[in-house]
Chains A and B, each alone.
Chain A
Amino acid sequence: MTTTRHPATPTDRIPRDGRTDLPDAPPPVTVTGLEVALPDGPVLLRAGSLTVRAGTVTALTGPSGSGKTTLLRALIGDLPHGARVTSGTVSVLGQDVFALAPDALRALRRHRVAYVGQDPGSALNPRMRAGRLIAEVAVDRSPAAVAALLAECRLPETLVHHRPGALSGGQQRRLALARALARQPDVLLLDEPTAGLDNALRDEIAGLLRRLATDRGVAIVLACHDPRLVEACADAVTVLGAPAGTPGNPAGTPERTVLPAPAAAPAADGLRATDLSVAFTHQGHTHHALRDADFHAPAGTATGIIGPSGSGKSTLLRTLAGLQTPVSGTLTWHGEPLPVPVRKRSRDQQRRIQLVPQNPLGALNPARTIGASLTRPLQLHRTAGRAERPDRVGRLLDDVGLPRDFAHRYPHELSGGQRQRASIARALAAEPDLLLCDEVTSALDPATAVAVMELLTRLRTERRLTLVLVSHELDLVAAYTDTVHRLDAGRIHTAGPSGDVADAEER
């Protein structure tokens, strides 16, 4: 972890406001060597240190999973469920937040330190109007003061009568900021304050934060990966490093190498979807999860599907797997029509196309041993006679890099990465041609995720599999696939060679 002074704006800029502390006053926020971890689980924040002076803006940057949010929330004495501070101290406004009595901690959060999370849409009470949401916490509750706050956050005054559900994502973000400013805090903690805002608004928010720091002497900490925001308003930048792979990972942390795709010419057509549309109707509201999507995964290739949550990527995969019936559109496998739902498919089609589901904990039946979970597909698809099944289970475990005696274990006795391997082994038991993988690397630490992707790539070569991978991690998917489809709001936006899509995303 490194802290650098921002070149453009020196840290020792002296606030011009009378209420700020003397030059030798203790800084409002001091974090020394803070480490937060789940009990016998991954480390969420590794030895973070941070000093923030009054009247300055400090930006926390670092890759996903580096603990930006964990550090911000630790500043108000809140840890993720079950997590503990394993070392280090946090001092905010002269108080050790983890030693404070509940009432004192509440008073600190209520009057002096304000925190705005990275998903303000869900953090605003959906049943309260904007005016009430601000007035509820405000020092000055008069309508004029509320209106002034709205104006300060560049929100139209008419918004006071709206509930959060009627606001856009960007407006919700600024409403949450207004709610924080209404308390006139000494320390302001913001998690991705400008995500989803356009350039003009981002610059205005940057200006607002700059003014708050300079004129009112507020100490601002923001977690952010937007370099332009950092440049526009930060006095100092603290970079958090990505946590290393968790110990106990059976595969270690292999080098990230991309195996060449099998050179076999596309003899067969593979999986093809044409004009796929999926809609959900709930209480009279129709949500179009997928609109006229065309998708093609040639045989023997690896195809990625990426997009933000809610973009319809999981719906696309579920439709391909035959779990979701589309409103319109057709599926074909090697030119043959592929019926939906799955029970209309032939036994052979059911065997050839296997799903590797999301969520490593729910992917395996917790009431059955790994061996029982692997035996069932052998039995269902008659890929092995009764006598040879135990041996086949053992070989499947070998194939995915798990010890053979894991057959007697229950899923909860395995680590996340091991469960994901077992889940892949279960899919392989049916001797499929096509694997549909749904977020197989989510909830895994980066090293384990890479190991799982390496495993899939190796299996693809050895078994001549076709892979379809859904993920929200573009970098990971781009490195291990031939083509990537990017989804947004139910439409396929770009589809092309993985490298090109990844580059386009960088820009």
Chain B
Amino acid sequence: MSAATVSDGRRRRRARPGALLRTAPAALLVLAALAGPLLAAEPVDKPVTAPYGEAGADALLGGDQLGRDVLSRLLHGGGALIAGALTVAAVVTLLATLLGCFAAVSPRTGRLVERAADTAILLPPVLGIMLLALAWPGGGRLAITVAAIVLGTPYAVRIVAGAAAPLAATGFVEAAVASGERVGHLALREILPNLRATVLALFGLRFVDAVYVISMAGFLQLGPQPPEADWALMIRENAPGILLNPWAVVAPALAIGLLAIGVNLATDALAPAAARKAALR
């Protein structure tokens, strides 16, 4: 199977029709969130309406629990979340890819990876974040980023190792082993170049997972602290006023939801089905 999938990945370099269309929402949302602070009309910490003020001409999405402009806070509140998620996804994918390739050609590393993933699965991510936030007072976003990396890596390594395992049994790797190649060459030069599709799918899924973990931490008030604008924190702060100004809660919830779904669908569109399936495991 492995070899066929591998060569498919190369042959299918041409994007599938519709892939662009399915990547567009995620790309637009990320751009909007990163450029948001430039577009915001009001400062994030100045009340402009009554608490939970209704939507109107001066505040398109109304006011929050302190009467601050929801739209401006929304435009400010995504950048850090997305930057954090990108960092986590990039670091986890890099670590997992390197470790996973070595795990595939070195049985001892492979067993260690299995054990680590089996152990890490016993700690729900939310509890893991709480533990780290507790042990690292004032860590803020950095603590959350580190927690997301630590919690996400063991599982991701297992995914890469799983995808690399069939490659380790192929003829070209066996011929290289029989010829006396070292583990480093096998992992990085023979196996890694064939995992492009898996790595892409993994990056997408890790990004979605990082959005989940970071926004969860924001919601639990473990990362960003008031009065900072943050989508997840906005939901938490304004939830009591959902009857008075639903937009204060719904708008950030929509933003997070669309970001997660958008990236997931984009990954789906870009990564070949076989790699996606491997990354699911």
Q: Which residues of chain A have a CB within 8 Å of any CB of chain B?
A: 318, 321-323, 342-343, 345, 347, 350-351, 353-359, 361-368, 373, 376-377, 380-381, 410-412, 423, 426-427, 430, 436, 438
Contact = CB atoms under 8 A, between A and B. Distances in A.
Given A368-B193, A410-B10, A412-B11, A363 B180 contact: no
A353 B178 CA distance: 8
B190 A366 contact: no
Given A367-B194, A412-B7, A362 B172 contact: yes
B175 A356 contact: yes
B171 A323 contact: no
B174 interface: yes
Q: Which 5 A-B pairs have the closest CB atoms?
A: A357-B171, A350-B180, A367-B193, A362-B3, A363-B171
A342 B6 contact: no
B11 A365 contact: no
Interface in B133-192: 170-172, 174-181, 189-190
B178 A364 contact: no
A363 B172 CA distance: 5
B4 interface: yes
A366 B6 CA distance: 7
Given A361-B4, A411-B7, A423-B171, A366 B178 contact: no
Given A347-B180, A355-B179, A380-B181, A362 B170 contact: yes
B180 A365 contact: no
Nearest to B196: A367
A31 B7 CA distance: 37
A436 B7 CA distance: 25
Contact of B10 (A351, A354, A356, A366): A366
B178 A342 contact: yes
Nearest to A426: B175
B2 interface: yes
Interface residues of B, dominant DSSP: helix
Contacts of B178: 321-323, 342, 350, 353-355, 436
Contact of B179 (A354, A364, A366, A423): A354
Given A412-B10, A426-B175, A366 B180 contact: no
Contact of A365 (B4, B172, B177, B179): B172
Contact of A323 (B7, B174, B194): B174
18 contacts: A321-B174, A321-B178, A343-B180, A350-B178, A354-B175, A359-B170, A361-B3, A362-B170, A363-B171, A365-B193, A365-B194, A366-B194, A367-B6, A376-B189, A410-B7, A410-B10, A412-B7, A423-B175
B172 A364 contact: yes
Nearest to B195: A367
Contact of A357 (B175, B180, B190): B175
A427 B175 contact: yes
Nearest to B174: A357
B171 A359 contact: yes
Chain B interface bracket (under 10, 10 to 19, 20 to 34, 35 or more)? 20 to 34
A173 B158 CA distance: 40
A342 B177 contact: yes
A357 B10 contact: no
Contacts of A321: 174, 178
A362 B2 contact: yes
A350 B179 contact: yes
A323 B179 CA distance: 10
A57 to B, nearest CB: 38
A377 B179 contact: yes
Nearest to A436: B178
Contact of A345 (B11, B175, B180, B189): B180
Given A361-B3, A367-B193, A412-B7, A373 B172 contact: yes
Given A342-B177, A380-B181, 9 more contacts: A318-B174, A322-B178, A350-B180, A351-B179, A361-B7, A363-B170, A364-B172, A376-B189, A423-B175
In this complex, the member of B4, B6, B175 whose beta carbon has the largest number of chain A beta carbons within 10 angstroms is B175
A496 B267 CA distance: 58
Most buried by A among B4, B176, B193, B194: B176
A411 B175 CA distance: 16
A351 B194 contact: no
Contacts of A376: 176, 189
Contacts of B10: 366-367, 410, 412
Contacts of A430: 179
A427 B176 CA distance: 10
B175 A359 contact: no
B175 A363 contact: yes
Q: Which of A318, A350, A436 has the most CB of B within 10 A?
A: A350
Contacts of B177: 323, 342
A361 to B, nearest CB: 4
Nearest to B4: A361
Interface in B240-271: none
A438 B4 CA distance: 19
Contacts of B193: 365, 367-368
A359 B2 CA distance: 11
Contacts of A364: 171-172
A365 B190 contact: yes
A263 to B, nearest CB: 30
A377 B6 CA distance: 22
A456 to B, nearest CB: 16
A342 B175 CA distance: 11
Contacts of B189: 376
Nearest to A377: B179
A438 B170 CA distance: 12
Contacts of A412: 7, 10-11
B23 to A, nearest CB: 24
Contacts of B172: 357, 362-365, 373
A355 B175 contact: yes
Contacts of B179: 350-351, 354-355, 377, 380-381, 430
